[in-house]
Structure 1
Amino acid sequence: MTETTTRTSDRTYRGPAGSGVPRLAGLPGVRRDDVLPQQVLETERYDTDDRRLAAAGIALTLLRMPEGPPQWHLHLPDGGPAEDLRVPLAPDAGVAPAVPGELSELIRGAARDRAVRPAGRIRRVRTEARLYGAGDRSLAVVVHDEVTLATLGSATEVEAWTEVELRSAAADDSLLTEVQNRFTESGLRPAGTAPDEELDRLLRPAPKARPVKAGKRGSAGAVLLEYLAAQADRLAAEELRVRRGGPDSVHQMRVASRRMRSALQAYRKLLDRKRTDPIVDGLRELGRALAPARDAEVLHERISDGLAALPDELRLGPAQAQMTRYFARAEAEANAAVLTELDSERHAKLRSAIDALMERPPLTKLAARPARKEMPKLVARTAKRLSDAVKIAHDPTAEESERDVAVHSARKAGKRLRYATEVATPAVGKDAKQFAKALKGFQSALGEHQDTVVARATLRELGTLAHPAGENGFSFGLLYGRDAARADEIERELPALWAQAWKRRNRRWLR
């Protein structure tokens, strides 16, 4: 992760500390060797006392190398080495430098309220011998490191060894073979891992044992907790991506929070609500904080695509420029609000409450029952909520605004049912999977309907803003009309889609 050279495992050898440099005299084809002055290279890993960064797959490292100024490296779990973030160490940083603000913001979600300080160090005392052939042609470099690795903090562990690496520039096979033979003669053996990997191993927290109160395998409580744990991990991973500005990260974080909230609501009888209700409320607030950023992203794409699809003669005035200005401000404000929420005390309490829920799950007696028998009953309760909402949405006597609200309520109930079914699928099997598939078309139509409702409000605002600015709002009005027509069309399609999804054979597994 933080190696400065490409490592070739079959040319790197390791032995006891103080083994010394292997004999290099009399190598075939070597006319002379130059030994460079000794160098010291230090790699310092930062983490919390309880290794929260390592547990999250994050590596924050301060590199002190002879060839350049000290530099911070941040490796996040969703990126390769080429995507590591690099920040130079400030000249006035001092002996115990603080983590730069731009990196501190990215790791805040994983570190929470814990201080980040040096957790481990690798020190290499390096000597390089460069081998030259006829005409001073560079053949190879033998790198000799005396390596000391130590963990820092309340528990200290120190390891030391000698490491020798052969880097070949233009050496033939006979030279390479002879050098490696001399490595072996000196008591060195092929090294399986790099020092940074060794430090990773020492700093990696021990795997968390399955909570004692998680319930027997196959029980309703165990199935639910496995699903909740997966969403908790997803929530933490997406928070890192949101802080980094990753594509689609706000949407994915919102989906993870909604999945967890829906599972806690649909299966509330399996857990003590005194513990879960505050988490449900916190996840709801998180969803509300993420919504404007996600809505702005979806609307921007929808309206931009709509304008691009219009014939030139119907795209009047600088509509595209006006839309770009509008969403630039809306998206910037929404994204700033998201980061403010993630840095808030409320969000820190939510993350701590989720951790506590996973570590000490407050399962009820009902949670001990077999998942295959108990979960269908709980999903059936959620299914009834959707059925009741659909009846109102299909009422032909209702006003348009009332139908919009009812369709929106059905959409939310449908998502909760889909996620509740998702939780039960490992226990129930193909019947639950088939039910979720049958609901997909109906759910997609509800989602598109909601998009038209939100888009029409924005299109109306864009059209209203155009007139005082001396611009033409015709194109926005045209898109408004098309979305209104599409909403009516979806409402006419819903009864058939619902009848198809709600067939008795699709929900026969519900009890």
Structure 2
Amino acid sequence: MGIEIEDKFDVPPDYAVPDLSGVAEVVGPKGHQLVALYYDTPDLRLATRGVTLRRRRGGADPGWHLKLPKAKGVRQEITHPLTRSTRTVPDELAELVRAYSRGGELRPVAELDTKRTVTLLVDGDARLLEVADDRVKGTVLGEEPRVERWREVEAELLSGDEALLAKVGKRLRKAGARPADSASKLARLLQPPTPDRVPTEPGTAGEVLVDYLESQVTALLSQDPRVRRAEEDAVHQMRVACRRLRSALKAFKSLLGDTQALQDELRWLGNVLGEARDLEVIRDRFARHLEGLAPELVTGPIATRLGDDLHEREQQAYERIKDTLSGARYYALLDALDALVADPGLRKPAGKPAEKTLNGVAVKNWDRVTKAYDTAQAVEDPERREIAMHDVRKAAKRARYTAEALRPTLGKPMRKLAKNAEAVQEILGLHQDGVVAQEVLAKEAESAREAGEDTFTYGLLIGIERGAAERAHEEFPRVWAETLQAVKKVV
């Protein structure tokens, strides 16, 4: 897997790549012939989402290349060795685009024949940046093939920094290059359709809401391949996208039609993701505790039970995630999210000016936090009150997500409200995490006791977790009081 940082430029047929020797030492130019077959579903589901899957011969990196959509200007590329077949996409790559193909057949849709001239900028043995001057012949495959020809230049960082990329880009533009109209050669050739979307009136609450929903659907999709590869933090980020979508559907229900069924499916997916994520977090938590204890205080095979055993359960949870992400129910959820963004069925209030309408939504969601708190404090039984405080945490998280969704539109007040809601969420989360950890440790200790193992260290860890939970519980009134004071200045 690689991360691409590059700039693309459209240039006229007679363009001359400028002398770059004043920027760094130059090697080349050197010519290559590249022939690439591009794969997609018949209705171009990958290209529509900015995903590129190709089989390329020639050049320095022949093989299969999967390029996933850009995030903050960075594009992820995954490679696979060249295979003999041009008909079948390798299973590993087909798996990574399932969120986009959704069971559709992957087949060749285009061919690009490129005469590439490469100039390298180097510093000794270090390859800093590559400038590729491409003369392209593109063919759209089908019953009636269509052929186009054009020229473009691409500057890609290798080991250099972005300041170097900016300097080279400036020289290329000065010589007559202009930023490319298309993100890729394939997009230029195929001109894939943009997803249909019912237009919203500029400046309205509906426009802000639909833009936010679309951003979170994109975020969820972008994490899908990373989750399938078990990349760091991917499950957490995908779960957060689910939660943000659910929160938005609840918080903005006055602007939308009935979305309860969709909320239920997002909860289902979040729960599937949550099992592996929770095991990962608590395993890391216990490992840190054990590392902090003196060796003589660690008795019995506790490291195995709290490490290897939990890790095995975590891997089993990952397998269940992979099964889920390849199932019809998941594809149906993605289709439903696409349909929501395309036509959200906005109600009349969505057509009102954004600022006034959305500020009211933010205030209402914070009011839910204070009402949940008042309800919890009215409960006399300590155990039931603790359960009720969990509702306060959930309400605070929803208020935070709502404020974060509105921050680009409403600015500083929403940033402050999100920060205050997060403070309540975090302190309650610290308490909840300590309580859950104690329950896990008690269960593992019981298994150890039944196996005849020394359970002394389990008791120590339970004491550590009880202390953490009690400190958070004692700290909460101060955090709550400070938050109420701060929120009064915002809403």
Please tell me the TM-score bracket, short chain as reference: 0.7 to 0.9
Could you say which structure has the larger radius of gyration?
1
1:383 — aligned with what?
A: 366
1:148 aligns with 2:133: no
Find 1:59's aligned residue among 52, 58, 71: 52
The correspondence of residues 156-195 of structure 1 with structure 2, limited to 5 A, is 156-160=145-149
CA contact (8 A) 2:416 2:490 kept: no
Q: Does 299-308 or 465-474 show the bigger shift?
A: 465-474
CA contact (8 A) 1:44 1:63 kept: yes
Deviation at residue 343 of structure 1 after TM alignment: 1.3
Find 2:192's aligned residue among 176, 190, 205: 205
CA contact (8 A) 1:218 1:427 kept: no
Deviations 1:31-77 (A, max 9, x none): xxxxxxxx985310111233222233322111234999x73222333
Matching residue's letter, 2:87:
P
Deviations 1:293-317 (A, max 9, x none): 1101110111111111112232222
1:71 aligns with 2:63: yes
Deviations 1:319-365 (A, max 9, x none): 22332221221111111111111112111111111111111121101
The correspondence of residues 489-500 of structure 1 with structure 2, limited to 5 A, is 489-500=471-482
The correspondence of residues 45-444 of structure 1 with structure 2, limited to 5 A, is 45-65=38-58, 71-77=63-69, 84-89=78-83, 91=84, 93=85, 96-123=86-113, 148-153=137-142, 156-160=145-149, 197-207=184-194, 211-212=198-199, 214=200, 216-273=201-258, 276-394=259-377, 397-400=380-383, 402-444=384-426
1:451 — aligned with what?
A: 433
Aligned length: 434
Deviation at residue 385 of structure 1 after TM alignment: 2.5
Mapped to 1, the partners of 2:69 and 2:465 lie a distance apart of: 41
Deviations 1:215-262 (A, max 9, x none): x22221111111111111111111121122221000001111101110
Mapped to 2, the partners of 1:278 and 1:395 lie a distance apart of: 32
Matching residue's letter, 1:460:
A
Q: Does 430-439 or 350-359 show the bigger shift?
A: 430-439
Matching residue's letter, 2:424:
F
Cα distance change on mapping 1:480 and 1:200 into 2, 3 Å:
same
Mapped to 2, the partners of 1:200 and 1:426 lie a distance apart of: 30
Mapped to 2, the partners of 1:379 and 1:318 lie a distance apart of: 50
Mapped to 1, the partners of 2:349 and 2:7 lie a distance apart of: 55
Matching residue's letter, 1:104:
A
CA contact (8 A) 1:263 1:419 kept: yes
3-state secondary structure, aligned to 1:268: coil
Cα distance change on mapping 1:199 and 1:193 into 2, 3 Å:
farther
1:475 — aligned with what?
A: 457
Consecutive unaligned residues of structure 1, counting only runs of 5 or more, are 16-38, 128-142, 164-188
Mapped to 1, the partners of 2:360 and 2:177 lie a distance apart of: 57
Q: Does 238-247 or 261-270 show the bigger shift?
A: 238-247
CA contact (8 A) 2:433 2:469 kept: no
1:22 — aligned with what?
A: none
TM-score normalised by the chain length of structure 2: 0.78
CA contact (8 A) 1:431 1:506 kept: no
Deviation at residue 375 of structure 1 after TM alignment: 2.1
CA contact (8 A) 2:54 2:64 kept: yes
Matching residue's letter, 1:152:
L
Deviation at residue 14 of structure 1 after TM alignment: 5.6
Cα distance change on mapping 1:497 and 1:40 into 2, 3 Å:
closer
Mapped to 2, the partners of 1:192 and 1:434 lie a distance apart of: 40
Consecutive unaligned residues of structure 2, counting only runs of 5 or more, are 15-31, 118-131, 153-174
3-state secondary structure, aligned to 1:158: strand
Cα distance change on mapping 1:55 and 1:244 into 2, 3 Å:
farther
Matching residue's letter, 2:188:
R
Cα distance change on mapping 1:162 and 1:482 into 2, 3 Å:
closer
Cα distance change on mapping 1:484 and 1:507 into 2, 3 Å:
same
Deviation at residue 483 of structure 1 after TM alignment: 1.2
Cα distance change on mapping 1:204 and 1:448 into 2, 3 Å:
farther
Deviations 1:160-214 (A, max 9, x none): 4799xxxxxxxxxxxxxxxxxxxxxxxxx999999995334223535557632x2
Mapped to 2, the partners of 1:191 and 1:425 lie a distance apart of: 37
Mapped to 1, the partners of 2:44 and 2:370 lie a distance apart of: 47
3-state secondary structure, aligned to 2:81: strand
Mapped to 2, the partners of 1:82 and 1:414 lie a distance apart of: 34
Deviation at residue 368 of structure 1 after TM alignment: 1.1
Mapped to 2, the partners of 1:196 and 1:427 lie a distance apart of: 28
CA contact (8 A) 1:14 1:190 kept: no
CA contact (8 A) 2:36 2:112 kept: yes
Mapped to 1, the partners of 2:100 and 2:87 lie a distance apart of: 20
Matching residue's letter, 1:211:
V
CA contact (8 A) 2:37 2:111 kept: yes
Deviations 1:55-103 (A, max 9, x none): 33322111234999x73222333697995221331x5x4xx52212111
Cα distance change on mapping 1:495 and 1:41 into 2, 3 Å:
closer
Matching residue's letter, 2:325:
L
Deviation at residue 291 of structure 1 after TM alignment: 0.8
3-state secondary structure, aligned to 2:88: coil
TM-score normalised by the chain length of structure 1: 0.75
Matching residue's letter, 1:110:
Y
Matching residue's letter, 1:84:
I
Mapped to 1, the partners of 2:38 and 2:210 lie a distance apart of: 33
Structure 1 vs Structure 2 CA RMSD: 3.7
3-state secondary structure, aligned to 2:202: coil
CA contact (8 A) 2:223 2:237 kept: yes
1:43 aligns with 2:25: no
3-state secondary structure, aligned to 1:270: coil
1:136 — aligned with what?
A: none
* Aligned sequence identity (%): 36
Mapped to 1, the partners of 2:328 and 2:219 lie a distance apart of: 21
Deviation at residue 117 of structure 1 after TM alignment: 1.1
Matching residue's letter, 1:327:
L
Cα distance change on mapping 1:478 and 1:125 into 2, 3 Å:
closer
